[in-house]
Amino acid sequence: RKSASATPQFTFLHLGVPCGKTCQPPNHGAVVFLFPFAQNLLSEKVEQMMEWSSRRSVVRMNGDKFRRFVKAPPRNYSVIVMFTALQPQRQCSVCRQANEEYQVLANSWRYSSAFSNKLFFTVVDYDEGADVFQQLNMNSAPTFMHFPAKGKPKRADTFDLQRIGFASEQLAKWIADRTDVQIRVFRPPNYSGTIALALLVSLVGGLLYLRRNNLEFIYNKAGWAMAALCVVFAMTSGQMWNHIRGPPYAHKNPQNGQVSYIHGSSQAQFVAESHIILLLNAAITMGMVLLNEAATSKGDVGKRRIICLVGLGLVVFFFSFLLSIFRSKYHGYPYSFLIK
């Protein structure tokens, strides 16, 4: 048994640090000293986080701040961290888009009536905290993680960006599942859509006024057919899904710099992917139109034969390409045609 004058050792479970074999039995005098210290440290951390949040809705952190305010105990608040690479030399357009949505969400929380010191939004940029990326074995950006008030992050505490996208509403739903904190997203007013609609109405109205004495073009079947096809191409290529989910345009691998325009899962897509599908559908449709023209027209036989071959080539090649994309997303799909 140690004497009363021996130096007390504080490495025991009251601070969440496991006690080794050589650890001394808990000293009640140490416990009395330790709890006020831990409470003071926690109060200082919460006060500092609140001060930073009052200046900016998203607190920027380097490696030291991250380890002190996010990783190290004691902590009674949850932290949402966006790991990103926003510097221009990184050329991460997805990071900038995700950061805009993240700022909208953080501002919605910061200026809501439910705001409290139980949840904070932070960001760690690769160029300011590369050691944090290395510590967490993180090799891609952007990445959203939730660090709970108690315990270590679980698998569900990493946001599934590839499948869900990074829209503020989707992030808010994920945060509600992990923290029980409900955030109502308030977006700043965006008048670009209203202005574009007003310009379109003005353009159409002006055209009709100029052609008021000859409105035969309104009954042009080819014009209405083209307009209908544009709507069909937009809807079948997944534009509405993009509008709802807000996926990134493409994905750039930070290790080798390779850019992926086709998502590897059947549960998600990139914006560039929908553009590719739109063009493929348009090319196939053009081929079908040429085939129909070759079959129904009464022109020169040689010219009709050329039109038929061109139309057939468009249909065969681009349908094969479209089928290969479908096959790459739905793993195990057995059929292919020309292009695997």
Helix (H, G, I), strand (E, B) or coil at 185: coil
pLDDT in tens, 220-273: 788 888 888 888 988 888 888 887 777 778 887 767 778 888 888 877 788 889
Q: Considering the entire predicted model, what is its pTM?
A: 0.56
pLDDT at 23: 45
Where are the domains positioned within the chain? 35-179, 218-329
Topology of domain 35-179 in CATH is Glutaredoxin (3.40.30)
pLDDT at 221: 83
pLDDT in tens, 94-128: 888 889 999 999 999 999 988 999 999 999 999 99
Contact 181, 117 (CB under 8 A): no
Phi, psi of 8 (to 5 degrees): -70, 145
157/167 Cα distance (integer angstroms): 17
Phi, psi of 157 (to 5 degrees): -80, 0
150/78 Cα distance (integer angstroms): 8
The ranges of the chain with pLDDT < 50 are 1-34
**Tokens representing 179?**
């923290």
Q: Where are the beta strands (DSSP E) in the chain?
A: 58-61, 78-84, 119-125, 143-147, 251-252, 259-260
pLDDT at 22: 42
